[in-house]
Amino acid sequence: MIKRKVTWFVLADGAHARVLTRSRTSSGYDVVAEYASPTAQPLEHLLEADHPARAHENAAVDHHTMVLRHDGQRLRKAAFAHEVAAHLNEANNAHRFDKLVLFAAPRSLPDYLAALDEATRAKLAAEVPKDLTRLPVAELPRHFAAFR
């Protein structure tokens, strides 16, 4: 009996991710895993500013405002991408898929790629800078057709 090649389709952004594979029992797709960042809460914007903090530099007579490069939201999104990638790396080590197709929001894609280990990256068939996280499963086949 020939083993069917398993392709995982990862749909991700900075706070949500879904992993799907072609269904063995129907012509659709099954959800393998879903992830949500614990910090992606509706009231989060009340706790922190959505822009970088500012500080005043007093080294000179003139007062200049400099933007601090620490962005909490950006760091949380990168941490979430690393967490999801760690699960993908573990699944690859367990031989759960043969091919990986990654659809990620353009700003999140570099974080996911950086967090995949070498063996998992070797199975990466495509990386698509597109956010499909909010699409229902029924609308996904047309996006997956080129990568089956």
What is 57-92 written as a DSSP string? Answer: E-SSSS-EEEE----HHHHHHHHHHHHHHHHHHHHH
Query: pLDDT-derived band of residue 3, with 50, 70 and 90 as boundaries?
Result: confident
DSSP summary character for residue 137 = G
What pLDDT shows up at residue 24? Answer: 84
Scanning the structure block, which residue is given the tokens 């699409």? 135
Over range 80-108, report the average pLDDT: 97
pLDDT of residue 48: 52
Q: How many CB atoms lie within 10 A of CB 61?
A: 5
Tell me, what DSSP letter sits at residue 45?
H
The pLDDT of residue 20 is: 96
Residues written for the chain: 148
Domain 7-41+52-147, CATH: 3.30.420.60
- Rounded Cα–Cα distance for residues 62 and 28 (Å): 64
Distance CA 55, CA 57 (A): 7
The stretch 28-51 carries a mean pLDDT of: 71
Residue 79: which of 44, 114, 129 has the closest Cα? 114
Name the residue ranges covered by the structural domains of the chain: 7-41+52-147
